[in-house]
Structure formats: C-alpha cells, structure tokens
C-alpha cells in the first residue's frame, strides 16, 4: 500500500509490507458488491483507496454499520474463524482493495511465523476495538430506552396527577 497510512500499527513497517506482499489487489467500481451477509469465505480485505459501505439489508433501505476508508480492514471475523459473513459490503466510490486469502495464510505462517502471529494479534485488536464500540452503542441504546421509559412514566404520572386533582377539586390542574 502506498502512502503513510498504517493498517496494522502494532506491526513494524517491514512486517506490514511482508503481509501486504501476500495480498491480491482488486479494483472495484462504485456500486460493486464485495461481500454478502451469510455467504462463506474467509478472505481479509484492506481498503487501499475509495470508500466502502458495510451494511445490513433491510426492507426499504440499507442499515449502514460503517463506512470504510483507506487503511481500514474488513472481513476479519471470517478470516479468523471461517464463519459466514456477518454483514454485506459494497463500494461507495471507485476504489481498490487488497485481499489476503485465508487459504494462503498458512504460507505466511511457514514463511514468517512471528509476523503471522503478530498479524493475528493485530486483527484481534481490531475485533476488540469494534466489540467495545458495539458494547458502548448497545449500552447507549439501552440507557436511551430507559430514559425514554422514565420520561413516559413521568408523563403518565403527570396526567394521573391532573386527573386526580380535577376529580377532587373540580378544577383544571394546569
């Protein structure tokens, strides 16, 4: 990858270059689907240029999970565990990707086990950061719902207070 964008900051430049040399370059025109949720695969993708959308297909429109820029990585979950894709990805603009095949990873392990191990730790760090962000979003959502529930309870209590006040006094409580 050209430029100063570091993909795996935990790795040295030489280690990163060694990993990138194992990648295949893929050009993608705007609108090109890259991955579909639920499909098999295990390749890791690195955004070299352009903008890519990670999304869930929903009735009417896509629910955007993330927008990925140069240096961002996707496909790490399937790369690590071989499970089906957890989301879909589409090119939002013309761009290019670097693809590291899960099937080719053993060659990197044999060639340089230290670098391969450090790559796995880097991917684990990426997954951990995304999981923490998802946990925070879930907590915010839960607290937001709790706040909304409290507001609704306060509104209902105020209405009940007005109704009881009116019933007892015959006056409007406002």
Band of the pLDDT at 146, cuts 50, 70, 90?
low
Give the number of other CB atoms < 10 A from CB of residue 97: 25
- Residue 5 to residue 96: CA distance in whole angstroms: 15
Query: pTM of this prediction?
Result: 0.73
Q: Which of 1, 47, 38, 20 is nearest to 104 (CA)?
A: 20
Average pLDDT, the chain: 83
Question: Residue 2 pLDDT more than 60?
Answer: no
Nearest to 77 by CA among 3, 40, 127: 127
Dump pLDDT digits (tens) for 154-163: 666 666 666 6
Structural domains of the chain, ranges and CATH numbers in brackets: 13-133 (2.60.120.10)
């Amino acid at each position: 990858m050209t430029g100063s964008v570091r993909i795996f900051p935990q790795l040295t430049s030489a280690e990163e270059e060694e990993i990138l040399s194992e990648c295949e370059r893929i050009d993608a025109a705007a609108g090109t689907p890259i991955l579909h949720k639920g499909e098999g695969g295990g390749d890791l993708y690195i955004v070299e240029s352009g903008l890519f959308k990670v999304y869930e297909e929903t009735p009417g429109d896509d629910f955007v999970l993330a927008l990925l820029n140069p240096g961002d990585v996707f496909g790490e979950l399937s790369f690590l565990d071989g499970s089906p894709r957890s989301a879909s990805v589409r090119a939002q603009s013309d761009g290019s990707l670097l693809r590291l095949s899960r099937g080719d990873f053993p060659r990197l392990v044999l060639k340089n086990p230290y670098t391969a191990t450090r790559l796995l730790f880097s991917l684990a760090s990426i997954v951990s950061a995304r999981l923490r962000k998802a946990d925070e979003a879930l907590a915010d959502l839960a607290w937001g719902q709790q706040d909304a529930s409290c507001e609704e309870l306060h509104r209902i209590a105020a209405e009940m207070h007005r109704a009881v006040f009116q019933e007892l006094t015959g006056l409007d409580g406002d």
